[in-house]
A and B are shown apart, each in its own frame.
Chain A
Amino acid sequence: MAGNTGTYLIQGASILGGEPADLLIRDGIIAETGNGLSADGATVIDAAGLVALPGMVDVHTHLREPGREDAETVETGTRAAALGGYTAVHAMANSTPVADTAGVVEQVYSLGRTAGWVDVRPVGAVTVGLAGEQLAELGAMADSRARVRMFSDDGICVHDPVLMRRALEYVKAFDGVVAQHAQEPRLTAGAQMNEGEVSAVLGLTGWPAVAEESIIARDVLLAQHVGSRLHVCHVSTAGSVEIIRWAKERGINVTAEVTPHHLLLTDDLVRSYDPVYKVNPPLRTDADVQALRAGLADGTIDVVGTDHAPHPSEHKECEWAQAAMGMTGLETALSVVQHTMIETGLMGWADFARVTSTAAARIGRLEDQGRPLEAGEPANVILVDPAARWTVDPFRMATMGRNSPFKGRELPGKVVATFFKGHPTVLDGELNTPFPHAASAGAA
């Protein structure tokens, strides 16, 4: 761990929503916890009323760089992440060029380190060019400086069952995981929104739940057969939750993720034809939303992943069918999860820490993230004001994407401070400074 990041004494923070305690952060680690701590020269932060949580880890972020720097860059995306309470993000592979070689993943990793706002862990493509035909050099990416452990063709399903089987088998060699975007392509040709009552009225081509569920069912059986590790991206239907619950009961090594938008929004919003609500997988029904919340609460779904997908405005200011799929999410995830899971009584803050940090770090094999808030642990810590309420304004966000589906909504919870490896990247709810890498040359 890096040294020389200063000393911060956080006083009276509610640890994971429990009893208040002090946290002393010094030289990148939590040096001490307890009550009535003091330290000479420490910057004191009064955290009365704030909740201390492990820095959030996003398993699913689109940073767009390299290639689409008009949509987002590693710099702007990771600023957004820090403001949203993240200390690590997994950068999805669908950049241009695709992150399917050691060279590209190392580039993204370096850009992340230079930016210094969060750990950027590149996700490697499963297949060359996301084309679904030939395995990318997964081993080379795993062995690179980026130490890739998660592989995904996200945005495109690895639909060929043999290729999926081989990928699952192959990543066992370096403890990798295949993160599947579950979407049967033939059942979703030209799909525009959830298939159901609303699509029938709107005349938009449907994306049926079965197109997701059939792939998940196949993949959990493949994972069982070859004894490998499967992660299911952005689960969106009640049926998917049931299949994953069944698979976990059978001991299959599967993890699953849900996005904040699927925990709150339904396809009823599509009636406006406003493409800000266009996303893949699509917004589903209220019954799906309730099943996803229940699945996240009972552990069937392991983590919240944002699927943060910034787009330039011209890709959303158009006809629905022409618009790009995707929504921003890094700066609203905490608030949406608080709103949908904590304020509904389904979860406490300790559960929040599990689904936004601990479990996510375990899936991505990030040793220094998602750790307990205890002495000797890396100081990836956030302070949250759960009583704050704010109205979402996409034009005041750090992400370049203005495509937030929560625009205009009042949401609870605000990130007051983010400590990344002991350094405050966010203080008083505002962006502070990036991690001073110069002081940590040579650190991993």
Chain B
Amino acid sequence: MKHLLSTQDLSRSNAIRILDTAEEMAAVGDREVKKLPALRGRTVVNLFFEDSTRTRISFEAAAKRLSADVINFAAKGSSVSKGESLKDTAQTLSAMGADAVVIRHWASGAPHRLAATDWIDAGVINAGDGTHEHPTQALLDAFTMRRHWSRLAGTGSEGADLSGMRVAIAGDVLHSRVARSNVWLLRTLGADVTLVAPPTLLPIGVEKWPCKVSYNLDETLEGGVDAVMMLRVQGERMNASFFPTTREYSRRWGFDDTRLRSLDKLGMKDTIIMHPGPMNRGLEISAAAADSPRSTVLDQVRNGVSVRMAALYLLLSGDTREPAATPALAYAGTHSTKETN
């Protein structure tokens, strides 16, 4: 893997390899000393053209746990208003010797531009681009679902996929990079995905996606779901006629207390409720749902660090083999116990 730009072109074997590697990384996070020497001497730049404290600190923690040097570059606002182009920024980072660039950008496709041009030679990880993709978010979601799904099956999660798992993704699909990355990845891993949204918040062309589409959250729940992922409704959508009022949105497409109770009534005791955060409590998700035992919101945050460690490790370890076991990592792991003590 040279770059991680999208989940659409991620093969099943590479996806599972990342998730399996993330399991090993998670084990590091459980130790008292949460650090591996795997990326010592390598430089990871967090290049953020858009504010996202959560994603940035998650990547920062991941890189630091792998002993990489981390540079945070907050190119907030548009590159034009800043007066420096993406090209110049990239060339500057290249000259400083960046080995990997984690880029968050408001413009869809900006990470692809970095990867496709000769502006910089570093590996590129897409940390969310416009309304396009957010592949590490989808990977951490899949990681969270896989642990849950494997536990229900009574098996280990290593090497497993999501075959047969029914996932509903509800909310503003049109503007959601999380939804796009999840649709491709979950499908690759064998899950059955249903998108639930008002018709105004589904893209024209969604009928070609490998998933079902529904306008009715209750019907989707009644049909049986193993995971419900609620998407954040952005403030700027609220006055652009995508839906009449936030109350109407909440009643029809929000995961409210009534729907939380209906999961019990429908006998779906193992269904989890997910949210990529930050949540609008009372809008797309009720406080009771967010805080219920079904909620995996904090697991997702925790797993994010493991998944990002795996992505950085696989990108920078120079290991371009197709999946096998990851002995290199195991080796790095044993080493670390000695070195960090």
Chain A interface (Cβ < 8 Å from any Cβ of B): 192, 195-206, 208, 272-274, 314, 317-322
* With A202-B132, A206-B204 already in contact, 10 other A-B pairs whose C-beta atoms are closer than 8 Å: A196-B205, A200-B204, A203-B108, A203-B132, A273-B109, A273-B116, A274-B113, A319-B86, A319-B105, A321-B109
Contact of A272 with B112 in the complex, beta carbons under 8 Å: yes
Q: In the docked arrangement, what's the CA distance between A273 and B110, Å?
A: 8
Contacts of A197 in B (CB 8 A): 205, 208
Q: Smallest CB–CB gap between A304 and chain B, Å? A: 29
Question: Cα distance A320–B206 when bound, in Å?
Answer: 22
With a cutoff of 8 Å between Cβ atoms, the chain A residues found around residue B107 in the complex are 319-322
Q: Is B79 positioned at the interface, with any CB of A under 8 Å from its CB?
A: yes
Q: Are B180 and A203 in contact, with the CB atoms below 8 A? A: yes
Residues from chain B with a CB closer than 8 A to the CB of A204 are 108-109, 130-132
- Kindly identify which residue among A200, A314, A318 contacts B203, using a CB–CB cutoff of 8 Å: A200
* Smallest CB gap from A275: residue in B: B113
Interface residues of B (CB under 8 A from A): 8, 78-80, 85-87, 105-110, 112-113, 116-117, 129-133, 177, 180, 203-206, 208-209
State which of A198, A201, A318, A322 has its C-beta within 8 Å of the C-beta of B180: A201
Would A318 and B116 be within 8 Å (CB), given that A199-B205, A200-B209 are in contact?
Answer: no
- Whether the pair A199, B113 counts as a contact (CB closer than 8 A) is no
Specify which chain A residues have a CB less than 8 angstroms from the CB of B133 in the assembled complex.
203
A318, B86: Cα distance in complex, Å: 6
Q: How far is the CA of A271 from the CA of B138 in the complex (A)?
A: 20
Give 9 A-B contacts (CB < 8 Å), ordered by A residue. Answer: A197-B205, A199-B205, A200-B206, A203-B180, A204-B109, A204-B131, A314-B85, A319-B86, A320-B113
Q: How many Å lie between the Cα of A196 and that of B203 in the bound state?
A: 8
Assembly CA distance A317 to B84 (angstroms): 12
In whole angstroms, how far apart are the Cα atoms of A202 and B133 in the complex? Answer: 8
How far apart are A278's CB and chain B's nearest CB, in angstroms?
Answer: 11
| Chain B hits for A319, CB < 8 A | 79, 86, 105, 107, 109-110, 113
A320 touches B87 (CB 8 A): no
The interface centre, meaning the residue of B78, B109, B209 with most chain A CB atoms within 10 A of its CB, is B109
- Alpha-carbon separation in the docked complex, A202 to B116 (Å): 16
The CA of A151 and the CA of B86, in the complex, are separated in Å by: 38
Instruction: Give the docked Cα–Cα distance between A158 and B53 (Å).
Output: 44
* Other-chain contact of A318, B85, B132, B208, B209 (Cβ < 8 Å): B85
With a CB–CB cut-off of 8 A, which chain A residues contact B106? 321
Q: Cα distance A205–B131 when bound, in Å?
A: 9
A203:B85 contact, CB within 8 angstroms:
no
Beta-carbon contact of B113 and A195 below 8 Å = no
Assembled-state Cα–Cα distance A192/B208 (Å): 20
Q: Which residues on the B side are within 8 Å of A314 (C-beta)?
A: 85
In the complex, what's the smallest C-beta–C-beta distance from B48 to chain A, in angstroms?
A: 14
Q: Please measure, in the bound complex, the distance between the C-alpha atom of A192 and the C-alpha atom of B131, giving whole angstroms.
A: 12
B110 touching A195, Cβ below 8 Å: no
Contact B109 A202 (CB under 8 A): yes
Q: Which residues of B contact A273 (CB under 8 A)?
A: 108-110, 112-113, 116
Q: Are A320 and B204 in contact (CB under 8 A)?
A: no
Q: Which residues of A contact B8 (CB under 8 A)?
A: 201
* A256 CB, min distance to chain B CBs, angstroms: 25
Chain B residues near A208 (CB-CB < 8 A)? 204
- In Å, the complex CA distance between A204 and B85 comes to 20
Q: Is the pair A198, B130 in contact by a Cβ cutoff of 8 Å?
A: no
A-B interface, 10 closest residue pairs, ranked by CB to CB distance from nearest = A273-B109, A200-B205, A203-B132, A203-B131, A200-B203, A319-B107, A197-B205, A321-B107, A203-B108, A273-B112
Chain B residues within an 8 Å CB radius of A203: 108, 129-133, 177, 180
Query: Which listed residue (A198, A201, A274) contacts B116, Cβ 8 A?
Result: A274
Quick one: which of A205, A206, A317, A320 contacts B109, CB cutoff 8 A? Answer: A320
**Which A residue sits closest to B6, measured CB to CB?**
A201
B178 to chain A, nearest CB (A): 11
Tell me whether B203 and A321 are in contact (CB under 8 A).
no
The answer to whether B204 touches A318, judged by C-beta atoms less than 8 angstroms apart, is no
In Å, the complex CA distance between A15 and B80 comes to 53
Given contacts A203-B131, A273-B113, A317-B85, contact A198 B108 (CB under 8 A): no
What is the bound-complex CA distance between A198 and B132, given in angstroms?
11
The residue among A201, A208, A274, A319 with the most chain B CB atoms within 10 A of its own CB is: A319
- Nearest-neighbour CB distance to chain B for A403, whole angstroms, equals 15
Q: How many whole Å from A371's CB to the nearest CB in chain B? A: 46
A199–B79 Cα gap in the complex (Å)? 23
For the complex formed, measure the closest distance between the CB of A315 and the CB atoms of chain B, giving whole angstroms: 10
Nearest A-chain residue to B5, judged by Cβ: A273
Q: A203-B177, A203-B180, A314-B85 are in contact. Are A321 and B204 (CB under 8 A)?
A: no
Do B205 and A201 have beta carbons less than 8 Å apart? yes
Check if B132 sits within 8 Å of A272, measured CB to CB: no
